[in-house]
Amino acid sequence: MNTLVVGCGRWGSFIAWYLNYIGQNVVLYGRESSEKFNTIRDTRFNGTVRFDERIELTSDLDYALKKSDYIFISVGTQKLRGFLEQLKAFEGVAEKKIILCMKGLEQNSGLRLTEIVKDVLGTDENTAVWVGPGHVQDFLAGIPNCMVIDSVNKELIGFLIENLTGKLIRFYKGSDIIGTEIGSATKNVIGIAAGMLDGEGYQSLKGALMARAPREIAKLIEAAGGQGISAYGLCHLGDYEATLFSQYSHNRQFGEAFVKKESVSGLCEGVYTVLGVKKLAEKYNIDMPICKLVYDVIYDGANIYEQFDNLFLRSIKQEF
């Protein structure tokens, strides 16, 4: 496979490393103005990932596209639409396969990633998502994990799994693109809630959070036309260890830091995804108390103690 990786952050860098590790041809693209890209180009190291000389680095998108048939994208969800608008101006893009190695919902519309692709490029037939548990630091230490590839194109799923599976990652076939995307996006919101529990010293309530959150997300998936059972798979519940407990989870770190009134660095997709979740909950008229708690605390300044009391002491007459 001739592959192009777009995104020089933590996960994009790993994708480039992994594709090279399993023997694919890799071009990593970064903007000339990107400090992260320039660091990689100057040192072949970004502080975590060390880049093999076989990985080609370029800031020329036209050149990168001409060398590649498969485009692996790992950028902030809110930047995806803008990049796709830039991408569609290049000749031959419609024939290339796009693999979205990212998780989130568009904050202003609630659209899923493949819906954004379809909105901009006119089709999602050549698009797949790569999601599931795993942290860069663990993979680089040789610790394996299982992940999911999903798409409306079943042949593309099979091809990617056959060509991307290696000793570090075993891929499973997704069968519910709506559930896979919503589940993977919302697990970051649940990760923020878990971090808030850590910040308040309520770690013992994580069990209740994990028991209740998948059902809440399943209701949203079902309302959107997907299969609620997907919330209990690798895209959501299966990613809880990496998101609700790991020291490397940016979303958990953000939730803890937020209630402690501390700053935290790094991309935290859940902060934006919860805005998209709010849009969808209103659209489908469903109650999502955990996601609402995260939204109310971050954006409305709600009292965290009162919010936790309201959440975990809800009437037994209410389902969740």
Summarised one tens digit per residue, pLDDT across range 109-123 is 999 999 999 999 999
Residue carrying structure tokens 């799923």: 157
Q: What are the start-end ranges of the E strands in the chain?
A: 2-6, 25-29, 56-58, 70-73, 97-100, 127-131, 145-150, 169-173
Q: Report pTM.
A: 0.94
CB 104 within 8 A of CB 272: yes
CATH of domain 185-312: 1.10.1040.10
Q: Which amino acid is it at 177?
A: I
How would residue 187 be classed by pLDDT, with cut points 50, 70 and 90? very high
pLDDT for position 318: 54
Q: Could you tell me the two tokens for 89?
A: 């101006």
Segment 271-295 mean pLDDT = 97
Segment 198-211 mean pLDDT = 93
Q: Which amino acid is it at 75?
A: V
| pLDDT tops 60 at residue 277 | yes
| pLDDT tops 90 at residue 63 | yes
The top-level CATH class assigned to 2-173 is: alpha beta
Residues forming CATH 3.40.50.720 domain(s) in the chain:
2-173
For the chain, give the mean pLDDT: 94
Q: 77 Cβ partners below 8 Å, 6+ apart?
A: 102, 103, 104, 105, 106, 107, 113, 185, 269, 272, 273
Helix (H, G, I), strand (E, B) or coil at 182: helix
CA distance 121 to 255: 35
Q: Could you tell me the two tokens for 205?
A: 């309530």
- The region of weakest confidence among 208-217, 223-232, 284-293, 299-308 is 299-308
| pLDDT tops 90 at residue 305 | no
CA 319 from centroid of its chain's CA atoms: 29
Residues forming CATH 1.10.1040.10 domain(s) in the chain:
185-312
